[in-house]
Structure formats: structure tokens, C-alpha cells
Amino acid sequence: MDILNYFMAKKEEKKVKEVHYGAEQISVLEGLEPVRRRPGMYIGSTGIEGLHHLIWEIFDNSRDEAMGGFCDHIEVTMLPDNSVRVVDNGRGIPVGIHPKTKVSALETVMTTLHAGGKFGGEDSGYKVSGGLHGVGASVVNALSIYTKAEVHTDGGKYIQEYTQGKRKALVKKVGSSKLHGTIISFQPDEEIFKQVRFDWNTVIAHLRQQAYLVKGLRIDIIDAREWDPLTGGKGKSSDYDNAFWFRELELEVPSTTFYFEGGLVSLVKFYNKSEKPIHSTVFYVEKELDQVGVEVALQYVDGINSDIIPFANNIHNPEGGTHVTGFKTALTRILNTYGKKNNLIKEADGGFTGDDVLEGLTAVISVKLREIQFEGQTKAKLGSTEAQGAVATVFGDAFTSFLEENPDEAKSIISKSLLALRARKAAKAAKDSILRKGALEGMTLPGKLADCQAKDAESGELFIVEGDSAGGTAKMGRDRKFQAILPLRGKILNVERARLDRMLGSEQIKNLVIAMGTSIGDTFDLGKIRYHKIIMATDADVDGAHIRTLIMTLMYRYFRPILDAGYVYIAQPPLFKIKIGKEVSYAYSDEERDKILGKDAPSLEELLKESANEEGNENQEEEEEEENSKNKKTAKIHVQRYKGLGEMNSDELWETTMNPAKRILKQVSVVDAEDANKVFDMLMGSEVPPRKSFITSHAKMANLDI
């Protein structure tokens, strides 16, 4: 019996159901349909990051024109209908008929995947570009409900419009023009994206980086979302339709301009503006090796955190890649070699690890490659292997010379790394003595932890509450099957100012680390986490907000993978309990309270008086409510303002804050890690002036606890 007959016989024995499977059942997705079916493959997600990625894709095309020397001005405008307009004064997308597609090159670029001017080598004028995949403009087009391309080239003005990636008409010449460049306007499709609302600060932060990276490039960013083209002053709708530069309309709308000549050195100084440098000179090198352009700038500051910002062809790579690997390898090797050669590292110290030499470091790494390879269309990680060796060699040679020529600054850097090395050893000793294997496996869980019965982390929830009073209420109100309670006494240590050894000396932090089960530092293991929901449930006052901030600082600095996994939440307990007769409602804000009460809302003075007298005769109150409830218009109104979770009884806490069917949880995420790093460092670090400046400038945004 041959093999085919054997398997047919087995199939017959098992009575496998026969299903016709023919050529007609093979699906073929045409044009840009694959992008709309699977947008995450092209822009990472359909959330807020993917939405902003649309701007980056169009901007990158204009930025590549600037890198090639064909453009020195880019303008990005956010408009009232949630659309975005990107303008450059580059060469303009070609509008002639493409020999292969038999339609305009503009239409080919906008409606065809893997079509663009970056595949033709030096003949295209793009020696270096970020958008090598050739899918940027077409992907944005596919994911937009409306797109318009306007090109000024060869003395003419040409336009073409699209809906969900499909052209509405052929490319049309609509007039003559003395200008040159491209205008792309697009409106993201609400069928694709969860929320279509661009964040001004996110756009500013990203484009500021780009301005530092391309010397001599002017970037204008304009927020015209509140502009009314009918009543908006000088700018009318007809002006907008005909304007090349939107800024020329001179509208009174938020805007900013970036233009830098200092390059990466200026960028490092910008990141360190709130820090105290330990050496004044910013190290910088720029050199090409084996057709790989390498630029590195770095400076050490008096802090314990590191910040490495990598770019490849001016595309930010938040997940790093081969260029970062080459840099870290060279940095560790050079500092070890220099320290031992000059007797700055003693034999008892051993040698630096990669973590030792990164402490307090701010570095920007930029590589430029003619043939570039990213891991994924979002370009979050560089995969080009040649970048690793080029960065290691160029940076290694230049940094060695820098240390030799600047012995005082070299000594400061070595001393900084030595401090980190000794702290690491002390922290390891502290960790080994505190976090024994048995503790991590749950054999010696903290005494204050009221654990849940569930053994699988996926269904487990850990409520971190403020103090024993709230802890007692939460323990009585919880569902012990899947909810664990850990009360913390007071405010935990601010880890932004403390090393690991001192941190693990804190009883409160030690209890939290053991309860989560992941360990910490170099033995951290996300797979051992004991709960997939870690919920901060603190009081709705200034102290509660401070405690949340301290816990989030701990999570961000030492448990970042838990944040990235989406396991950290903030509970939203109500601010008010409102009784109208026998009807009970809960309000989570002043506005919600006023909406429930309507015109009967008591003043602040009346509310405080009610809170002071709420210990009155309960029996009398019940009798009054029973009588008043017969007539809703005269029903007694009682408003209680909760200051803390301990003021609730267990039933109220369960109903409002812990019951999965009714509660409100805010998931904590890190949208922009670099901005988050700077905010934590500024608000929780040791430098007072930057924090004071931030508080002063944002004072009007504060929610005061009166």
C-alpha cells in the first residue's frame, strides 16, 4: 500500500467529513484592501499610536526630501474635521504616466503598495531614506475616509482625491504654479480607528526630534482644530483651499516652529536641561564607515536612570536594534579598558557590566544606511546587521580619544560607573537576603496580604489600598475567590531618588514585590506574576494622588514590563453618595453630582454642613425619608462626600469600586516612554527648579482638594 492509499484508508476509518475545497475558494485581496483588513500589520495598531503613525508616514516622505537636500521647509497642520495637512517645498511627486502601471506616478504612489522613489538607488536622488518600504502614503490613503494630494511641479498645479484608498478621478492639472512641493491632506477613517483625536503634545515631541536630526530644516506645526473657516478672521475657506503654506493665513491658532543647527549635541542638551551634568562637554562624533553614517552624542548626569534615543535614517526606533547593541558593547568595553589602564578600577571591584555604564547616561545614536532593514513596518527596531559593527567601531575609536584627551571628565564618568557598580553589588546582597526563593514562590507572603483563592494569575486581582482602615473595609467587601488586598502604611519610598539596596530596605516596597511574585532587578520574571490586575485604590485627595504617583514611579522604574503588559490599573471610587428619599446614587465627579441633583444641588457650604451633621438620628432620618418619599418633590436630599475608602462600608466599596460588573478602572499605559521618563525625573527627582517651574506653569490645571 503506498502512502497516499494508507492515509485515505485512515481517513475512511475515522469517517472524516468531506468538504469541497476548490480554486474558487481562494480569496485574492486587491489594491489596498489588505491594509484595511489588517491595519495593525502596517501601522502597529488602530489605537492612539497607530493614529499618529499616519502623520509620521506622510511626514517621513517630506523629511526624506529634506535629507536628500531637496527641501528645507515642512508644515504640519491639524484641521477642524480631524484631518491633517502636510506640506513640503520639495521636488513634488512626479505626475507623469508610469511606464508599468500606465497611470500617473502620483496615483501609483498613493494607491499601490511598495511603490515609491526610494527603490532606485542613487538615480532616484535618495541616497538615504526612512520610508524604504514604499507603503507609507498608500497605507495612509487606505486608512483614510478622504485623502487629497496636491502637487506643484514643472510650472503646474495637479490634484487627485481618494476615498478609502480608491481614486475619485484621474490626476488633473488645475492651473499653473511657480511653486514646487507636495501637499497631502488626509482624514482618518473612524471605521478603522477607535478614536480619531490627535494629541498636540505627541505631535510636537516627535517633530521636535526630527528638527534636531535634520540640520537646517524648518518645521512648522499648527493646531487649527478650533478654527472656523467662516468666522475665523483673516483665513476663509477659500483662502485655505488656495494656500500653499497654511501659516501665511496668519490665524490666531496655537503653533510652533522648530529649526536647529546644533544637531544631536543640541538634542542631548535639551534632554538634560533639567539635569545636573557630571561633565560639561557633550561628546559627539560623526563619521561614515563602510557606507554607514554614524552620529553619536552623549553626556552623563547626576542621576540613576539612563536614556538612549536611537534613530535609523531619522526614524525613531523605540525598541532599539543593532545600532544600540553596537553602542552598548563598545561603551562597556571602552570604560572597562580605560578604568583598569589608569588604575581607576580596583581589582576588588571586578569590572563594569552594561547596566553599570548606562547609569546616568543620556545618549542619542543616529545611523544612516542606503539599504535599511527594520523589524516590521512600524520601524520600531533596526535589523540591519552592518549598523552594529559600524557604530561599535566609529563610536569606540572616538570615545577612546575623548577619554584620553579629557582626563578630568573621564575620571568623572568612571567614578559615576563605579558608584553604580558598588550599588549593584550592595543591592544584590540586599535582594538575596530579602527575596529568598521561598518568598517568591508564595511560601512566606506578607502578613498584611489577604490573598485570593484563585491560583491562576489571569483571573487574580491585587488591590493596593491606603492604610489599615481601608484595608479592613476592602477585605470585608471583596470577592475572596479572585481579589487580594494589600494595605500599605503611609507613603512608600520615592524610588526616583533611591537605589535598589535602599529601596528593598523599605518594608512596604518589599511586601509589594513579594506579593506580585515577579522578583526585581536582574532576576525579574514577568511569567511569575501572581495577578494580571494590579489595582491602586487610594483616597480621592492629595495624599491619595501622591501615593499613586509614588507607586507608579516604582512601577515605571523597576517593573516596566508589568506596565507594558497592561496589568496596572487605577480604581475610581465615587466622590459622593447621594440619597434622594430612598433612592441612592453615586457620583464620580462634581459635574456628575450636579447632574443627579439638578437645580437642587447644595452649595459647598451646605455640603460641608451636611457632612458635619451626618451622625444625626438615623431612625428619625429613616422616618422622614419614608414620609417624604411619598412625594418625590419633597423627598429629603442627603449628600455624603467621601474623603477616603475607609469612610465606606464594605457593601458600598464592593458596589462602587470592586464589583467587576459596575466598577470603573483606568488602565495605566506608557504612550511615549521618553516623555514619561522626563516627567518622572522632573517631578520625582532631586532637582527643585525644574519641578517648581512645572508647577507654576501648570497651576491652573490643578484639581484642588478643598
For residue 567, give the nearest of 578, 547, 587, 552 by alpha carbon: 552
For 548, the grid coordinates are 499613586
Residue among 88, 466, 655, 681 flagged as catalytic: 466
Grid cell in block for residue 439 = 518568598
Cα(44)–Cα(69) distance, rounded to whole angstroms? Answer: 30
Tell me how far CA of residue 75 lies from CA of 72, 180, 492, in angstroms: 10, 14, 46
Q: Does residue 59 contact residue 130 with C-beta atoms inside 8 Å? A: no
Of the candidates 232, 247, 257, the residue with the CA atom closest to the CA atom of residue 80 = 232
For 139, the 3-state DSSP assignment is helix
* C-alpha span between 653 and 474 (Å, rounded): 7
Residue 536, strand partner residues: 464, 570
348, with CB counted inside 10 A (0-12, 13-18, 19+), is exposed
Q: Which of 349, 507, 543, 610 is catalytic?
A: 543
Catalytically annotated residue among 57, 75, 539, 655? 539
Q: Please, which residues have CB within 8 angstroms of residue 274's CB and are 6 or more apart in sequence? A: 678, 681, 682, 685, 687, 690
Per-residue cell: 583: 433612592
Told to judge if 543 belongs to the known catalytic residues of this protein, a careful annotator would answer yes
- Number of other residues whose CB lies within 10 A of the CB of residue 578: 19
Please indicate whether residue 681 is annotated as part of the active site: no
Element (H, E) at 666: strand 665-667
Q: Is 356 a catalytic residue?
A: no
In whole angstroms, give the CA distance from residue 90 to residue 249. 21
- Asked if residues 223 and 253 have their Cβ atoms less than 8 Å apart, the reply is yes
CA distances (Å), origin 364, targets 267, 379, 503, 623, 671: 8, 17, 30, 71, 20
466 is catalytic: yes
Catalytic residue (one of 49, 468, 541, 674): 541
CB under 8 Å to 479, separation ≥6 — which residues?
Answer: 654, 658
C-alpha cell at 203: 505631535
CB atoms near residue 269 (< 10 Å):
17
* Integer-rounded Cα radius of gyration of the chain: 31
Tell me which residues are annotated as active site: 466, 539, 541, 543
